[in-house]
Amino acid sequence: MGFFSKIKEGLSKTRDAFLGKVESIITFGRKIDEEFYEELEEALIMADVGVNTVMEIMDELRVEVKKRKLSQAEELRPVLQEKLADLMGSEEQEGLRMAPNDQLTVILFVGVNGVGKTTTIGKLAHKFKSEGKKVILAAGDTFRAGAIEQLEVWGQRAGVDVIKQSAGSDPAAVIYDGLAAARARKADVLLCDTAGRLQNKSNLMDELNKVYRVIKRELPDAPHEVLLVLDATTGQNALQQAKLFGATAGVTGIVLSKLDGTAKGGIVIAIRKELEIPVKFVGLGEKIDDLQPFVPQEFVAALFSGEQEEHE
Ligand SMILES: Nc1nc2c(ncn2[C@@H]2O[C@H](COP(=O)(O)OP(=O)(O)O)[C@@H](O)[C@H]2O)c(=O)[nH]1
Ligand SMILES: [Mg+2]
């Protein structure tokens, strides 16, 4: 399945809610008036596009309506799509920063409990492996019961090695071991799992800082990416987490997981608009190939693509 059909399928809940609502407001023969604007605004807010972003879109829509002398609601549909697309920026998908010249690339995963870090690592390991890369996973979540075993299951699925220590050991020591193994075995990519807990617990941030410093000390150019995993089903809360982690953990990119499980997929738009951090991947399910690079323009296109094209 190509990116577009995959993301369309993964976005079906958001699309149904969003498009369904938009379609019910933008009806044939309806005039653009205050009541119309209010309903549209509400529909966007319900999809978790974010209040600030919605306000901005609404202002721009009003300007366009005046400029283009529109009076019919249905004329606004392409304008809305255009505005959302503008908002997402025109640049292509931002790939991962990889080490040059076949050197080791180190990627650190951070995020609160249950957002999908370990699952994303498993999916990404599979992706790299199928590109012919040698991948090693480091079981840096030594805190949560069963976390190491869970990563090992993903390692088996993806067919890659997992470096671990016993539960409760120092995460920084595990990552150190991971780096040593990755170098000794001439791996291309090291994916480092970490514990979650709550984002406001300062010991978690201290722990992440220590892990970060150990990586930097061993390999000054690493970590090449610090990916913050956010759970799309938590809507605006995900945005708060992003602000917190972004400020303290040196996050370079976002993975938005569980887009398939929510009608609040508009959160991608809010994240993109309100943060400087690019969304690099979206999680669209629990299976090993349910991770897709995030392409902003295709996201908007998928959001607006109707049912009739579903089975082409
Ligand atoms: N539907 C869906 N479930 C996901 C996705 N990513 C992760 N999950 C599920 O979310 C739960 C928590 O994931 P996990 O990787 O253990 O989170 P962690 O605590 O951050 O490592 C698991 O049940 C995963 O199967 C996704 O993209 N879609
Ligand atoms: Mg985990």
Taking the CA of 265 as reference, the closest ligand is: 1
Pick the closest to residue 229 from 202, 259, 209 (CA basis).
259
In testing the pocket of ligand 1, which one of 13, 112, 119 has its CB within 8 Å of the most ligand atoms?
A: 119
Residue 109 Cα: closest atom of ligand 1:
20
Q: What is the pLDDT of residue 79?
A: 92
Distance 254 CA to ligand 1 centre (A): 15
Q: Which residue has the higher pLDDT, 93 or 165?
A: 165
Check whether 287 has a pLDDT greater than 60: yes
Distance 175 CA to ligand 1 centre (A): 22
Q: Which residue do the tokens 């993903």 mark?
A: 154
Q: Average model confidence (pLDDT) for the chain? A: 89
Q: What is the pLDDT of residue 307?
A: 52
Cβ-count burial of 202 within 10 angstroms (0-12 exposed, 13-18 middle, 19+ buried)?
Answer: exposed
| For range 271-296, the mean pLDDT | 90
Check whether 158 has a pLDDT greater than 60: yes
What pTM, to 2 d.p., does this model score? Answer: 0.90
Pick the closest to residue 108 from 78, 82, 140, 154 (CA basis).
140
Q: What is the pLDDT of residue 92?
A: 64
Pick the closest to residue 268 from 286, 294, 240, 302 (CA basis).
294
Pick the closest to residue 28 from 72, 65, 81, 77 (CA basis).
72
Q: What is the pLDDT of residue 241?
A: 87
CB of 113 within 6 A of ligand 1: the answer is yes
CB of 41 within 6 A of ligand 1: the answer is no
Distance CA 11, CA 216 (A): 37
Check whether 248 has a pLDDT greater than 90: no
The H or E element spanning position 184 is helix 171-184
Residue 122: count other Cβ atoms within 10 Å of its Cβ: 27
Distance 146 CA to ligand 2 centre (A): 9
Joined together, the tokens standing for residue 151 give: 């990563």
Q: Which of 45-54, 149-158, 210-219, 248-257 is predicted with the least confidence, judged by mean pLDDT?
A: 45-54
| For range 262-289, the mean pLDDT | 89
CB of 285 within 6 A of ligand 1: the answer is yes
